[in-house]
């Protein structure tokens, strides 16, 4: 026997004793021969990859046909070995498995095509589930050796892994594969977040391990006394699942990490329930946290008893109680399907599963794919386990509405119709009047009372308790649109008040032209938008007045008006040249200078000047992307240097990256406001993995203050990175 195959065969003998080792060795010989001249990016012989994939599958307990297909899975695609030759050598089954994997490999992954790709995968799976099992093992080994690929490839493959392959491993019940795929992709895509969570886990590990050991000893002792044979051990914590829970449950790291997880493995189903009773006799169970997945298995064949008890020191302890065969199924899912596919009988007291019932969810996926016209929606259905994260409630007419866990009658109202949500004033659940912030449970019948008043609308307080993205977005939209008129009036009044307070000439300063020019400078489309921004608190009225005065201060015809006011004389006497830009042009102090908005330079940056037609000199950062184009006209480049004055104002753009959570944006804007910066524009995007990327442009008098601003924003819960960007890169 080939000594290279000894580790693989040792695993196969342990997990699948009846496997035909001769055919596996023949498949290896054929693959090694055809891949003989090929190398991996790491420099290793190519055959090391199919051998590693086969070893991963052997550890899962797969059959010999799957192992042969794993060894041969790249031969048809990457060598001269044809599918017909393979069929002649190894038969139809192995050939069709290799063909299925080859077809999946040819599907190109792109943002737009991902959901379509998943559909093709599902169709391939429905013919033979082992095609996908091989593909998952192939992806796992590729992720383990990803460091040899260029960075853009690593990111692309890691994103595919998180979006497509890990959720499919979850759907197949292959938890060991899912967890490793998630952690590898997480570390590759988000090293800062991964390192931060790893650091927090390692810091708390010693204290937590002592507590874990105490709980394990007490549970083991109780089960021994009750004469129940059991293996009791701690459940491992996976970094990506910790990260996901921080986002999904909106709780602090300590609250998740301190929740100790214990797994109890027993011999039979009767012992599962006996062990549960023994544990509940020692520690009080937490109401509502008991789940019986033995009597009612999950969609992916998962069976276990789940309970949470109040353990030592009053800390909660999560326990999973299952038989050894249930544990094997929970770890390896359908990869080990043939080990128990002959089992018969309904799920329940026997703990056995009807043949084929484990594929019920696969048929459900195919039904979803036929029903759902939007590929993105289909992908969402696949990515999340609906049975865990949603509650199902009824309308008075019996229609079922799915809502996020923890949803309220307001979420229900918006799910029915936007107008019903806007006009909602009360709710009745199961015939009883309840507060609007009440949590809905599975099977509740909900009736909404609406107002007929033309002025009816949502309350800002609703944003504190609604759970669905739809309800939150609709409420925010209502306040931004329906209350615009009020904001405009409030803004106009605030500007007028600020002017009267300083004794400024109201009519002169609030003329349409000066305000319109200022609105455009601040990147608002019109004067109304500027008033609304002031009314909603995005821009301070005092800041608007100062800018108006500054703009007129540079116009000769306005000097008489300005002289009658109580403005400081330095505003009247400042040179017309550089104005508030804080930059001087070499050899000419009386040139109009403006700081470019494409890269927002501030004192301390290396800068270059460029003579524009009719707009003086524009100043760019030396590393601005536009400077490369400007250098093609060297005769228009001029030397400039910083010379900021007390009234110089600079634009700064920063990017904030954070784990998305409720009230994140309001926390960031409040922090910026506390740092006395004037926000001119803000944009927020939330990616699919629920990371919020916010970009803020604001004004600053002293750029040295920027370090304090960045430090303050970085201290906000959930923010893991914040840095200055140039407008060109944002």
Contact 148, 41 (CB under 8 A): yes
Structure tokens at 480: 């931004």
Distance CA 19, CA 278 (A): 41
Q: Which of 730, 681, 347, 296 is nearest to 522 (CA)?
A: 681
325's CB contacts (< 8 A; 6+ apart) are 340, 351
Q: Is 196 a catalytic residue?
A: no
Q: Which helix (H) or strand (E) holds 323?
A: strand 316-323
Contact 726, 598 (CB under 8 A): yes
How many C-beta atoms surround the C-beta of residue 241 within 10 A? 17
Number of H helices, E strands in the chain: 33, 20
SS3 282: helix
Indicate which residue of 20, 59, 77, 292 is catalytic.
77
Q: Is 444 a catalytic residue?
A: no
Structure tokens at 520: 């455009």
To which residue do tokens 């600053």 refer? 700
Helix spans in 258-319 (H) = 269-282
Contact 653, 620 (CB under 8 A): no
Structure tokens at 431: 């015939």
User: Helices 21-34 and 48-60: crossing angle, nearest 10°?
Assistant: 160
Distance CA 478, CA 494 (A): 23
- Side by side, the strands of the sheet bearing 230-234 are 230-234, 260-266, 316-323, 305-310, 291-292
Distance CA 45, CA 40 (A): 6
To which residue do tokens 């944006």 refer? 665
DSSP letters spanning 80-134 = S--HHHHHHHH-HHHHHHHHHHHHHHHSPP-TTTHHHHHHHHHHHHHH-THHHHH
573's CB contacts (< 8 A; 6+ apart) are none
Distance CA 698, CA 539 (A): 10
Indicate which residue of 20, 25, 59, 78 is catalytic.
78
Distance CA 344, CA 531 (A): 72
* Strand residues in 82-126 grouped as ranges (E): none
To which residue do tokens 């496997």 refer? 19
Q: Which helix (H) or strand (E) holds 698?
A: strand 691-700
Q: Which of 123, 8, 148, 147 is nearest to 66 (CA)?
A: 8
Contact 53, 141 (CB under 8 A): yes
Q: Which helix (H) or strand (E) holds 160?
A: helix 151-160
Contact 471, 410 (CB under 8 A): yes
Q: Which helix (H) or strand (E) holds 187?
A: helix 175-189
Contact 383, 160 (CB under 8 A): no
User: Helices 175-189 and 239-248: crossing angle, nearest 10°?
Assistant: 80
Distance CA 208, CA 217 (A): 14
Contact 402, 452 (CB under 8 A): no
Contact 621, 599 (CB under 8 A): yes
Distance CA 93, CA 99 (A): 10
Residues carrying an active site annotation: 77-78
């Amino acid at each position: 026997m080939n000594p290279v195959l000894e580790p693989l065969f040792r695993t196969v003998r342990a997990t699948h004793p009846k496997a035909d080792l001769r055919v596996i060795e023949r498949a290896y010989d054929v693959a090694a021969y055809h891949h003989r001249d090929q190398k991996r990016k790491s420099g290793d012989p190519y055959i090391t990859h199919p051998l590693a994939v086969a070893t991963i599958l052997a550890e899962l307990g797969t059959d010999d046909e799957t192992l042969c297909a794993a060894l041969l899975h790249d031969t048809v695609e990457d060598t001269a070995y044809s599918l017909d030759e393979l069929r002649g050598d190894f038969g139809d089954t192995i050939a069709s498995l290799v063909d299925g994997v080859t077809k999946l490999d040819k599907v190109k992954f792109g943002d737009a095509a991902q959901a379509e790709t998943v559909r093709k995968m599902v169709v391939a799976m429905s013919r033979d589930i082992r095609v996908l099992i091989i593909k998952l093992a192939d992806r796992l080994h590729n992720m383990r050796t990803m460091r040899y690929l260029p960075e853009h490839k690593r990111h692309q493959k890691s994103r595919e892994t998180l979006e497509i392959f890990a959720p499919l491993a979850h759907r197949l019940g292959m938890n060991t594969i899912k967890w490793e795929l998630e952690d590898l992709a997480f570390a590759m895509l988000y090293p800062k977040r991964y390192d931060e969570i790893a650091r927090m886990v390692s810091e708390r590990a010693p204290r937590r391990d002592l507590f874990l050991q105490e709980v394990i000893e007490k549970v083991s002792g109780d089960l021994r006394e009750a004469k129940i044979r059991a293996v009791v051990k701690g459940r491992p914590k996976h970094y990506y699942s910790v990260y996901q829970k921080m986002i999904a449950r909106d709780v602090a790291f300590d609250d998740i990490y301190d929740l100790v997880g214990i797994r109890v493995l027993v011999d039979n189903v009767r012992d599962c329930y006996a062990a549960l009773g023994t544990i509940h006799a020692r520690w009080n169970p937490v109401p509502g946290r008991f789940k019986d997945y033995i009597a009612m298995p999950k969609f992916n064949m998962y069976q276990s008893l789940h309970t949470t008890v109040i353990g030592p020191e009053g800390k909660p302890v999560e326990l999973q109680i299952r038989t050894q065969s249930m544990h094997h199924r929970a770890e390896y899912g359908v990869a080990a399907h043939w080990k128990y596919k002959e089992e018969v009988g309904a799920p329940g007291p026997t703990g056995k599963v009807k043949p084929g019932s484990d594929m019920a969810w696969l048929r459900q996926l195919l039904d979803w794919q036929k029903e759902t016209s939007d590929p993105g929606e289909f992908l969402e259905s696949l990515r999340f386990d609906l049975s865990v994260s949603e509650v199902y409630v009824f309308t008075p007419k019996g229609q079922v509405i799915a809502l996020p866990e923890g949803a309220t009658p307001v979420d229900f109202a918006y799910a029915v119709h936007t107008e019903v949500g806007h006009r909602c004033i009360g709710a009745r659940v199961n015939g009883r009047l309840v507060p609007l912030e009440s949590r809905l449970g599975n099977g509740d019948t909900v009736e909404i009372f609406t107002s007929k008043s033309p002025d009816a609308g949502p309350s800002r307080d609703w944003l504190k308790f609604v759970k669905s993205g739809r309800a939150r977005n609709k409420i925010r939209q209502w306040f931004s649109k329906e209350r615009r008129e009020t904001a405009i009036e409030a803004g106009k009044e605030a500007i007028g008040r600020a002017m009267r307070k300083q004794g400024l000439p109201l009519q002169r300063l609030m003329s349409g032209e000066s305000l319109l020019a200022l609105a455009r400078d601040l990147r608002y489309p019109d004067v109304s938008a500027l008033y609304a921004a002031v009314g909603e608190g995005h821009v301070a009225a005092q800041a608007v007045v100062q800018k108006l005065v500054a703009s007129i201060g540079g116009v000769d015809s306005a000097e008489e008006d300005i002289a009658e006011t109580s403005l400081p004389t330095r505003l009247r006497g400042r040179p017309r040249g550089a104005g508030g830009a804080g930059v001087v042009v070499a050899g000419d102090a009386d040139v109009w200078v403006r700081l470019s908005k494409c890269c927002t330079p501030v004192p301390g940056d290396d800068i270059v000047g460029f003579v524009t037609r009719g707009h003086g000199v524009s100043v760019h950062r030396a590393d601005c992307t536009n400077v490369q184009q400007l250098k093609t006209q060297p005769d228009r480049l001029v030397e400039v240097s910083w010379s900021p004055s007390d009234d110089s104002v600079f634009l700064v753009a920063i990017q904030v990256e954070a784990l998305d959570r409720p009230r994140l944006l309001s926390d960031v804007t409040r922090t910026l406001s506390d740092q006395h910066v004037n926000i001119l524009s803000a944009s927020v995007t939330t990616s699919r993995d629920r990371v919020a990327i916010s970009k803020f442009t604001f004004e600053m008098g002293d750029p040295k203050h920027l370090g304090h601003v960045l430090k303050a924003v970085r201290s906000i819960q959930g923010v893991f990175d914040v840095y200055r960007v140039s407008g060109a890169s944002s």
